[in-house]
């Protein structure tokens, strides 16, 4: 009996404080204190609700991306390792809803499955080459990448010969299955491949020059990194505009227009240009695989710029190789562009250049036109590619 009484007393002692605190808000107290306590409680509650609504438990690496989710769907086509690295980086950005990866060589299945397990917002889905039709459904941006790791130890003409069949097949299906998607061309050599893709779209009756964009992101990334290392600057805050073609032999970095520093002596300019144009050869001497890491990072950077433009972000500016009228004797040219919901929103053309840079552009034009002719002729010599039905 004594034990049961002690048990009742202990349970009552536990219950009294709970009941007391539970009902303390109903106790009669001074009106002003009551009002202050109520206001404070409401403000704390509203802050908690606001925090829950605005930022629901983001992971540390996900906080680098924009605060609101997007609805952009990206399809990446290719079989090289740079595609895999680009997919990893794009999966960090909440503006992208879905990433479809079309593996043209059936060699990336394990890697893409691994990437899909990263707990960030965009969903990654793997497709084999034969399922391209399903992969292109409701896609906003198509990234046409290299079918294999780029062979950087050969000439652009040899690269084009190796890639032309693959590009013809993919572009033909892209225009028939997802003709209104924005197209970003990364397949080397972009100087010749972009005109080829454009001609395929033109013959199919879906050509919009503002929605077919050739990448110069890798060369620009390299140039900004080289220049930043020379000046001991943070490359993230350095901008070097590019003009000319879309390969290291025809592209011209405009160091005279670089920001925030644009004063370089002749020796520095020659050294930086030489470093840019021989970077692939130096890598080929070390390792045959090529620049898959930086290539993937550069591809992700350009795709993200296109995503931001489609999402309505303002002042999204980058260099790219596109159909252009800024030089009468050159139908395709690299320049500074502003991206928007319709693709290319504005072409800034050629800025004021130094005398040395003008000479480099003039020297590049014959080679650019040669690559353009190479790409266009391949399409017109094989016109049956636009008559297939998928």
The confidence band for 70, taking pLDDT boundaries of 50, 70 and 90, is confident
State whether 191 and 85 are in the same domain.
yes
Last residue in a domain, options 158, 190, 215: 215
Mean pLDDT of 19-35: 42
pTM score of the predicted model: 0.81
Residue 4 lies in a domain: no
Residue-wise pLDDT for 123-149, tens only, equals 999 999 999 999 999 999 999 999 998
- Is 60 exceeded by the pLDDT of residue 7? no
For range 87-106, the mean pLDDT: 96
Q: What is the pLDDT of residue 288?
A: 60
Q: What is the CATH number of the domain that holds 104?
A: 3.40.50.720
* 156-163 contacts, C-beta under 8 A, 24 or more apart: 156/188, 156/189, 156/191, 156/192, 156/247, 156/249, 156/371, 157/374, 159/188, 159/189, 160/189, 160/192, 160/193, 160/371, 160/374, 160/375, 163/187, 163/188, 163/193
The set of residues, in sequence order, having a beta carbon less than 8 Å from that of 229 and lying 6+ positions away, is: 235
Residues 130 and 269 in one domain: no
Are 362 and 296 contained in the same domain? Answer: yes
Residue reference for tokens 């061309």: 185
CA pair distance 29, 71, nearest whole angstrom: 53
Please indicate, yes or no, if residue 206 is contained in any of the structural domains.
yes
Q: Is residue 46 part of a domain?
A: no
Q: Is residue 80 part of a domain?
A: yes
Token couple for 108: 């990336």
Sign of CA dihedral 61, 67, 71, 76: negative
Integer Cα distance of 71 and 62 in angstroms: 17
Are both 282 and 189 inside the same structural domain? no
Residue 3, domain member (yes or no): no
Q: Report how far apart, in Å, the C-alpha atoms of 22 and of each of 26, 31, 42, 204 are.
A: 9, 20, 17, 73
Q: Is pLDDT above 80 for 153?
A: no
CATH of the domain at 230: 3.90.110.10
- CB of 151 closer than 8 Å to CB of 163: no
pLDDT in tens, 234-284: 999 999 999 999 999 999 999 999 999 999 999 999 999 999 999 988 887
Cα(342)–Cα(182) distance, rounded to whole angstroms? 8
Domain span holding position 294: 217-370
- Reported as a pLDDT band with limits 50, 70 and 90, residue 306 is very high
Q: What is the DSSP letter of 265?
A: -
Residues 333 and 229 in one domain: yes
Q: Are residues 207 and 221 in the same domain?
A: no
Longest dimension (CA), the chain: 108
215, 242, 270 — which closes off a domain? 215
Task: Verify that 244 and 179 share a domain, yes or no.
Answer: no
Indicate if the pLDDT at residue 35 is higher than 70: no
More confident residue, 52 or 38: 38
Would you say residue 334 lies in a domain?
A: yes
- Per-residue confidence band for 8, with pLDDT thresholds at 50, 70 and 90: very low
Residue 342 lies in a domain: yes
CA atoms within 13 A on the CB side of 28: 0
Q: Do 200 and 221 have their domain in common?
A: no
Tell me which of 215, 231, 265 is where a domain ends: 215
Model pLDDT for residues 164-212, shown as the tens digit of each residue: 999 999 999 999 999 999 999 999 999 999 999 999 999 999 999 999 9
The answer to the question of residue 384 being in a domain is no
Residues 222 and 209 in one domain: no
**Residues 282 and 196 both lie in one domain:** no
Domain count, the chain: 2
Pair (198, 237) in one structural domain: no
In this structure, are 107 and 87 located in the same domain? yes
Distance CA 274, CA 268 (A): 10
């Amino acid at each position: 009996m004594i034990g049961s009484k002690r048990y009742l007393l202990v349970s009552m002692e536990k219950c009294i404080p709970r009941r007391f605190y539970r009902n303390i808000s109903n106790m009669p107290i001074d009106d002003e204190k009551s009002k202050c306590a109520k206001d404070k409680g409401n403000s704390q509650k509203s802050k908690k609700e606001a925090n829950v609504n605005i930022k629901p438990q983001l992971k540390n690496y996900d906080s680098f991306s924009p605060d609101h989710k997007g609805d952009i769907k990206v399809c990446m086509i290719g079989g090289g390792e740079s595609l895999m690295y680009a997919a990893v980086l794009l999966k960090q950005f909440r503006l992208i809803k879905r990433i479809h990866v079309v593996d043209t060589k059936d060699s990336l299945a394990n890697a893409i499955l691994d990437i899909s397990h990263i707990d960030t917002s965009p969903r990654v889905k793997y497709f084999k080459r034969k399922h391209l039709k399903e992969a292109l459904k409701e896609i906003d941006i198509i990234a046409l990448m290299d079918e294999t790791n780029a062979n950087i130890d050969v000439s652009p003409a040899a690269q084009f010969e190796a890639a032309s069949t693959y590009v013809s097949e993919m572009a033909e299906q892209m225009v028939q299955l997802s003709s209104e998607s924005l197209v970003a061309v990364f397949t080397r050599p972009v100087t010749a491949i972009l005109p080829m893709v454009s001609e395929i779209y033109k013959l199919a009756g879906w050509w919009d020059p503002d929605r077919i964009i050739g990448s110069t992101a890798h060369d620009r990334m390299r140039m900004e990194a080289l220049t930043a290392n020379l000046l001991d600057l943070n490359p993230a805050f350095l901008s070097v505009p590019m003009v000319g073609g879309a390969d290291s032999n025809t592209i011209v970095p405009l160091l005279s227009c670089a920001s925030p520093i644009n004063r370089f002596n002749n020796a520095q300019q020659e050294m930086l240009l030489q470093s840019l144009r021989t970077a692939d050869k130096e890598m080929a001497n070390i390792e045959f695989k090529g620049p898959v890491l930086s290539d993937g990072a550069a591809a992700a950077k350009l795709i993200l710029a296109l995503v931001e433009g489609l999402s309505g972000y303002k002042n999204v500016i980058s260099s790219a190789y596109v159909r252009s009228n800024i030089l009468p004797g050159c139908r395709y040219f690299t320049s500074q562009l502003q991206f928007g919901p319709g693709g290319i929103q504005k072409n800034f053309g050629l800025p004021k250049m130094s005398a040395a840079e003008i000479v480099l552009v003039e020297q590049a034009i014959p080679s650019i036109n040669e690559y353009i002719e190479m790409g266009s002729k391949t399409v017109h010599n094989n016109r049956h590619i636009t008559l297939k039905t998928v």
